[in-house]
Amino acid sequence: MLALIAGTGALPAELVAQLDAPPLVCALQGFEPAGVAVDISFRIETLGTLVAELTARGVTELCMAGGVRRPPIDPAAIDAATLPLVPVLQKALMQGDDGALRALIGIVERAGIAVRAAHEIAPDLLPPPGVPTRSQPSEADRADAARGARIVAAMAAADVGQACAVARGQALAIEGVYGTDWMLASLLARPDPQGGGLLYKAPKAGQDRRADLPAIGPGTVRGAKAAGLGGIVIEAGGVMVLQRDATLAACKTAGLFLWVREPEA
């Protein structure tokens, strides 16, 4: 039996729609998914109880999909089943995103539940390499994409984010804790009147790809257009495209290119 820890964004609903059988949907309080009925609501302080309930219900596989942020922990709300996990949780919350997710995956796996990636369950979420849009990247765009790849690689060393905006070889913005949409919105007041540039997005080097694999969708395209960018570049095999038909239609309407770029050797 498959359980889904569902967060915010479009990924949980799209994933559920592609499954043959409905999963057991769990959600962290405050980060409930849109368009998906939640079976179990939990808090970090009751994580041990959640894992025990999943085991009791016969869950053998778990997928984490959607966005969450780290909530503050109320020591008084920690239940007996979660108390033994407190040292692991404390250490996890002091790490970057990837470190925290690895700790959570470790807790689940020690309970005998296998953790599967969203794109493993629904492989169509990963598009093939190429440029599926009418608009094509220029040579300047290709140079900016290479620059973006280097910037994201440097960000990965600090476990910071998975995206950046680049124009004419210069970093316009980098993704932080508030995500890609917030980063793009920060460019609405960019001071260069000529605009241009691109959004580059890729997973962090060495990250556990069973959780937090980056994704784009129609909203990303609209945000890139509003930010004055000319296209979006994603790493092939490392970034999911949600609502693919709608995303490509949004690119066509906005006149943006989408390049699914092979990672550099």
pLDDT reading at 112 higher than 90: yes
Domains, in order of start, for the chain: 2-121 (3.40.50.20), 126-261 (3.40.140.80)
Encode burial over 177-201: b for 16+ CB neighbours within 10 A, e otherwise: eebbeebbeebeebeeeeebbbbbb
Tens digit of each residue's pLDDT (9 = 90 or more) over 64-80: 888 877 777 888 889 99
Tens digit of each residue's pLDDT (9 = 90 or more) over 128-159: 999 999 999 999 999 999 999 999 999 988 87
Tens digit of each residue's pLDDT (9 = 90 or more) over 160-214: 889 999 999 999 999 988 899 999 999 998 998 888 999 999 998 877 788 778 9
**The predicted structure's pLDDT at residue 97:** 59
As a whole number of angstroms, the distance between CA 224 and CA 195 comes to 11
**The predicted structure's pLDDT at residue 93:** 67
CA gyration radius for the chain? 19
Tens digit of each residue's pLDDT (9 = 90 or more) over 238-260: 999 999 999 999 999 999 999 99
Please spell the DSSP secondary structure of 43-92, one letter per residue.
-GGGHHHHHHHHHHTT--EEEEESB---PPP-GGG--TTTGGGHHHHHHH
Other residues' Cβ atoms within 10 Å of the Cβ of residue 11: 23
